[in-house]
Chains A and B, each alone.
Chain A
Amino acid sequence: MANAYLALADGTVFEGISRGAPCDLPGEAVFNTGMTGYQEIASDPSYFGQIVTLTASEIGSYGCNPEDMESLGVHLSGMVVQQLNPPSSWRSRQSLDELFRQAGKPLLSDVDTRRLVLHIRETGTQRAWLHADGTELPVAQAVAKAKAWAGLDGVDCVSHVTAAAPYSWSQEGDCRIVVVDCGVKWNILRQLAAEGCQVMVVPAGTTAADVLAMKPDGVLISNGPGDPEGVPAVIACVKGLLGRVPLMGICLGHQILGLACGAATGRLPFGHHGCNHPVKNLLDGTVDITSQNHNFAIQQDSLPDCLEVTHLNLNDNTIEGVRHRSLPAFSVQYHPEAAPGPTDAHHLFGQFLRLVRGK
């Protein structure tokens, strides 16, 4: 039988069984520690270019359904799991492997994911090659391919996942929010709509002038994949919007707000990917358990005077939220829209809309 495995650039190899579409491709090897939410992860555009290992031991058991998609398709490069199960849930419409086959993405099962996770923890995020196309490929060649791959640093990943053209998500509402789509998760749009907003989505390349021309009451810079420095157009857009309209940034949007205000961003050793990160609100001392998915972060020592740190990650003290000292703009590194993960931080949408509605 043909071999299937994940080869890291440092030569470490993890064998498994190919369960998704036959593929042979590079990606950044990361892991996510959430115990539920594989479908949301698979459809989260922020994972573009990444091969995501799930640490939970039993995957697939509740299947997949159309309501839980976070975008139109599967954007990550591949998924690696331990036990893959057929679905058993009243909500399920297809199995996880069907979803992957349909999306043309590889899914590797029966992997010792703990070994993989500990390896990434010790060596950091790595370039990797996922070999699962049904052919026999010598391991050395895969490792060489992983090494040869340029990786995602400085690359514009956003253009691969952003909307091709502006569209309206919901027409009803007392205020109009324009969402700059860097790879937006639908639950952000659902949350805004649920809060009674008209939601317009624009592609990531949209200029500040074009956004302002839509007469928004507020602008949200969405989550998205990759290195924030790879999307100078969005940074420029945010610079143009700052002070003109209330702004909220989520994840990549948060890093972009930071860059637009003069902060620097950099890579974390192996990123934050999971649903259990404690984030402390420095303003009121409360802690939210948050959903996270990022490899880059605003660097503590680079913070300009105009930004104030509002949230810290209690695990490693990295910056999780900032606000502008004088302008109506704030952002968080984590995912208030959850999906997957705890809904503790849903209240941030309310906070944003209070800013928007001037209440």
Chain B
Amino acid sequence: MPKRTDLHKIMLLGAGPVVIGQGCEFDYSGVQACKALKREGYEIVLLNSNPATIMTDPEFADRTYLEPMTPEYVHEIIRRERPDALLPTLGGQTALNLAMEAWRSGVLKRYQVELIGADADAISRAEDRRLFKATMDGIGIGSARSDSAHSLEEAWVVARGIGTWPLIIRPGFTLGGSGGGIAHSEEEFAQIVRRGLEASLNHEVLVEESLLGWKEYEMEVMCDKKGSAVIVCSIENVDPMGVHTGDSITVAPTMTLTDKEYQAMREDTLRVMRAIGIQTGGSNVQWAVNPADGRRLIIEMNPRVSRSSALASKATGFPIAKIAALLAVGYTLDELRNDITETTPACFEPVLDYTVVKMPRFTFEKFPAANSTLGTQMKAVGEVMAIGRSFNQAFQKAIRSLETGHWGFGLEPKQLAFDQLDDAKLEAELERPNADRVFMIHGALAHGWSLEKIHALTGIDLFYLRKLKELVDFEGQIDGTAKGLRRAKELGYSDRQLAYALKMEEGALRALRKKEGVVPAYGTVDTCAGEFAAITPYYYSTYMDYDEPVRPADGKRKIMILGGGPNRIGQGIEFDCCCVHAVFALKAAGFETIMVNSNPETVSTDYDTADRLYFEPLTLEDVLGVYEREQCDGIIVQLGGQTPLNLATELEQAGAVILGTPPADIDAADDRGIFKGIAAKTGIRQPLSGMAETVEDACAIAERIGYPVLVRPSFVLGGRAMAIVSQEGAMRSYMSEAAKVSPGHPVLVDKFLEDAQELDVDCVSDGKDTVVGAIMEHVEQAGIHSGDSACSIPPRDLPEEVLSEIRASAVRLAEALHVVGLMNIQFAVRHGVLYVIEVNPRASRTVPFASKATGRPLAKYAALCMTGARLKDIGFDHMPHIPYSAFKEAVFPFVKFPGVDITLSPEMKSTGEVMGIDVSAAAAYLKSQDAAGNRIPRSGGVFLSIRDSAKDPALPYLKKLATMGFTFYATAGTGRMLYAHGILCNAVFRLAEGRPNLKDLIVERKIGWIVNIPDPGDDGAKMRSLAIEFGLPVTTTCAALQMAAEGLENSSIDGGRMDICSLQEYHRMAMGKEHASQ
């Protein structure tokens, strides 16, 4: 049955910003879907607010809307585009929820838009807890005893009905189990239920019998409209029930199920899918199995492509999203080919002759106050996947892929601390699921604990514990013989671990290993365990006899691109986007591209992206292995964030050719001392600064240059441990903390420029010419990490002298640092004087945003420059001017970490970003706020608290708001100012001063917006916490207030409707202006 010809235009929903529980896996699925459907000749309309996605590159859809992902904008786009169908199953929970709202509101019916992939009834059956349970009961599939509740009182009734502790609480319709938890007591129960009701879109929580300690499984299933169905992948969790799947270490294929159990689970998975009514596409079903008797209960079913689908695709080579998209338009599984073999159909079940291990990446170091116990609410910000021929090999590769400072499992200095824990502490930590639990297991094994004891504490299956014990037992047997090294490699040990065990240098160990002929062999991910020949070159390293032959490059130059590893705060999808752009550009320019990365969520690890994909940890050893095997002509390290940069020098020393800016210059830019010299020589002004090795140094420097100062350790990404310090006491306590962050590296102390305008500038250089790609102005005041602050292109009202000084500085810096490729400069402008804050000759987080806003893909240009092209030949010879505005806004994970201090600071805390774009700057700003979920209300109550120095500048905008009918609630000072100008307002107390105060207003829902422009140093932490908890937007600068007020005024012209326009149209506008000005 071929594809449907009654559909012409299909609208796709992306997943919006990266948040915990919804990472870049949906960019991967969206890209696949867009490519597949476009190739079939459909016209694609795409909505996604996240500019750092590949899917929003203008060539992937016919009309790309970077608009907020809210029902209003979906309505507007449908009204404007009149698509025939809406495909909501590839953009995660965000897309599914949005589609359901559009369906419920009648928009889809009104414009006759068909939901394809999954219909509304099926989505409801899967997502509505009660309906789901009833449906499962109807087909005789058991689920945990549970019931849903819409209030705390109802929840108590359910809890009493179940009658046992602990109880699991899951909110309905949320991302990654947000707001859920495990309650062991009445107190915890009430707290979690309240939070869950708040987080749930339909104000519903499920209270459920605990299955703690049961084994957890997941099956990825695909079906077509004729009823054929296949299981693409089965996944077994190492961490038993009680830990969110996203936070669990997981393994594919299943390890401890007999064929009978596996097939019964498979059969039930298919029955579930049919009962829910999924007609086509990918879904996943999660199961819990009692390890004592095999009793199996269903946990949940996702009627869409999910995070595990991305993992399953990478683990098996089966492109779930692509196939799901094609099935949605009418194809059947037997009509589609398996990409990897090209000779067999997609209608089959992949088989693995290797083991895959996924590990979650946490960033608790960013949120020290957050509870690090893992539970049903997902806390991981990223993940890695590793492939090996044995579980142990994959397991150790996964650990070193995480980049948490561990070299593997044992035989590393970082393990010592865990091995030295006393028994009581170990016991406590083994019982409590946490990010370091595997290292605790190592400790317990090193203490000689029995597997049974560890099993009783952790619930982890003996199969895995035995594997880990095998590793611990092996530690004493390591030797430097060929046989010993080979065995160690088969078990997954890194050169670093072996060197540590044998007391050698890593390089010497590597030389010895090579001399003994112990070199990696590479296996292919071929979907069929070798039964058919694989066309697609997708590899993993192992140490077996068989080595896949290296394919000839047909005379093309081979360029290796290093990806960014696991997503974490400060290094995420933005860098993957740059890497993918480099691949696209170099492929098009006739190079053979080789991608190395360990992150299964990304587009870069789609085997369809680069010419060859190596799914490997990003360590010197693993990268060199690939480099030497492929005989690459060069490596690009400047696009994947800090991870590849950290390897650059060592790679170069090992003889690899680093393309683009030399590593020595990248380091020079990071080294304050050297850079100071460069800045002085090139005549570029920097804030006064110094470098401190000790507490006393730091205090002396601060005294000399004057408080407040900005302090931070050198060589860290995402502003880790950065702070503004305004007096000596704070400096002393900071310094005692900072020493831990980056041993051996000094702390940088900079004069903090108060009230400065901060700018981010991304530019590209070919080694001769340097062109500024975009100048971005931060909305927040200086002192907030650039990754966390909103920014705009173009900047508002910068005098031409400053602009030309920026361009001139960029050229001089690029020259001085021998930049070939990308360079990011942070400037501050204070009283018309330009300062350089920081220079990073590499891809920055803002490159995708700048590229998307201007329509000039900077990372593509940079990649071409690194391989010798000239900017003038590429056609990029001046900074693009755009006749519209684009705002980037950051998105934060605070909701997932209740109780942590949510104040923004120089330490980056956001997980993702959105973009707002409009011909009016103010409207673009409003859109960026809408998109980030800080929806500024169009009417109602506003809380005002404005510092003295900002009162006058704020006044005109407050007047505007008053005219629009907003009701003001103000603190004393602000209130007096308003009265003085004839604006009415209600007086409220500050939080600490009395009642009614802000909290009362929020609780009574009298206000929907907080405008708090504080003095620097007044962090307003409590106020912000409250705002986040209740989902209120907070405006903290005068500039933002201005934008918001003007935006609201604009939109009121149009009866509150926001104007929308596609990226392709904006880019045409920009091109038109370029032509006009030439």
Contacts and interface: CB of A to CB of B under 8 A. Distances in A.
A252 to B, nearest CB: 21
A285 B351 contact: no
Interface in B452-473: 461-463, 466-467
B391 A65 contact: no
B226 A286 contact: yes
Interface of B: 226-228, 230-231, 234, 253-263, 266-267, 291-294, 332-334, 343-345, 347-355, 389-391, 461-463, 466-467, 523, 528-533, 544-546
A67 interface: yes
Given A35-B351, A114-B353, A121-B531, 5 more contacts: A88-B462, A88-B466, A276-B348, A314-B348, A341-B263
12 contacts: A36-B253, A58-B390, A89-B256, A115-B544, A117-B530, A121-B533, A274-B351, A276-B349, A276-B350, A278-B348, A314-B348, A340-B259
Task: Indicate the member of B253, B261, B353, B528 with the most A CB atoms within 10 Å.
Answer: B353
A339 B263 CA distance: 9
Interface in A56-95: 56-58, 61-62, 65, 67-68, 82-83, 85-86, 88-91
Nearest to B347: A278
Most buried by B among A113, A286, A288, A315: A315
A113 B390 contact: no
Contacts of A314: 334, 344-345, 347-348
A199 B422 CA distance: 63
Contact of B352 (A31, A35, A280, A289): A35
B351 A112 contact: no
Name the prevailing secondary structure of the B interface residues.
loop
A175 B389 CA distance: 50
B544 A68 contact: no
Contact of A339 (B254, B259, B355): B259
B460 to A, nearest CB: 10
Contact of A118 (B227, B347, B352, B530): B530
A114 B546 contact: yes
A262 interface: no
A115 to B, nearest CB: 3
Given A40-B259, A86-B466, A287-B334, A114 B530 contact: yes
B546 A115 contact: yes
A342 B229 CA distance: 11
A85 B462 CA distance: 11
B390 A287 contact: no
B539 to A, nearest CB: 12
Contacts of B267: 342-343
A77 B383 CA distance: 43
A114 B256 contact: no
A118 B544 CA distance: 13
A39 interface: yes
Contacts of B258: 36, 39, 62, 65, 68, 89, 91
A39 B533 CA distance: 28
Given A278-B334, A278-B345, A287-B333, A56 B351 contact: yes
A90 B293 contact: yes
Contacts of A342: 263, 266-267, 349
A286 B270 CA distance: 15
Contact of A55 (B262, B266, B461, B529): B529
A348 to B, nearest CB: 15
Nearest to B1: A285
Interface of A: 31, 33-37, 39-40, 55-58, 61-62, 65, 67-68, 82-83, 85-86, 88-91, 112-115, 117-118, 121, 274-278, 280, 285-289, 314-315, 338-343
Contacts, number: 167
Contact of A36 (B262, B294, B354): B262
Nearest to B353: A55
B352 A56 contact: yes
Given A40-B259, A289-B349, A315 B254 contact: no
A19 B17 CA distance: 53
Contacts of B334: 278, 280, 287, 314
A314 to B, nearest CB: 5
A280 B348 CA distance: 11
B257 A62 contact: yes
Q: By CB atoms of chain B within 10 A, which of A89, A114, A338, A341 has the most?
A: A114
B262 A82 contact: no
Contacts of A36: 253-254, 257-259, 262-263
B774 to A, nearest CB: 48
Contacts of A31: 530-531
Given A36-B257, A315-B344, A88 B463 contact: yes
B345 A37 contact: no
Contacts of A68: 258-260
Contact of B529 (A33, A67, A339): A33
Nearest to A338: B263
Nearest to B230: A289
Contacts of A86: 466
Contacts of A85: 463, 466-467
Contacts of B344: 314-315
B259 A121 contact: no
Contacts of B545: 112, 115
Nearest to B228: A287
A315 B348 contact: yes
B253 A35 contact: yes
B1012 to A, nearest CB: 57
A326 B532 CA distance: 38
Contacts of B261: 62, 91
Contact of A315 (B234, B345, B390): B345
Contacts of A33: 351, 353, 528-531
Contacts of B263: 36, 338, 340-343
Contact of A61 (B231, B291, B463, B546): B463
Sorted nearest first, the 9 A-B pairs with minimum C-beta distance are A115-B546, A37-B259, A55-B529, A276-B349, A117-B530, A340-B259, A287-B228, A36-B259, A88-B463
A315 B349 CA distance: 12
Contacts of A338: 263
A35 B257 CA distance: 10
Contacts of B523: 114
A285 B226 CA distance: 8
A26 B229 CA distance: 40
A56 B256 contact: no
Given A58-B255, A315-B532, A67 B260 contact: yes
Contacts of A65: 258
A42 B357 CA distance: 28
A36 B348 CA distance: 16
Given A86-B466, A286-B227, A315-B345, A117 B260 contact: no
Contacts of B333: 278, 287
A78 B720 CA distance: 58
Nearest to B253: A35
B253 A287 contact: no
Nearest to A62: B258
A207 B101 CA distance: 69
B353 A113 contact: yes
Given A39-B259, A57-B390, A112 B546 contact: yes
Nearest to A270: B531
Contacts of A56: 253, 351-353, 529
A271 to B, nearest CB: 10
A234 to B, nearest CB: 28
Contacts of B351: 33-35, 55-56, 274-276
Given A91-B258, A276-B349, A289-B348, A58 B391 contact: yes
Contacts of A289: 230-231, 347-349
Contact of A90 (B226, B234, B291): B291
Contacts of B231: 289
A250 to B, nearest CB: 18
A118 B521 CA distance: 15
Contacts of B293: 90
B484 to A, nearest CB: 15
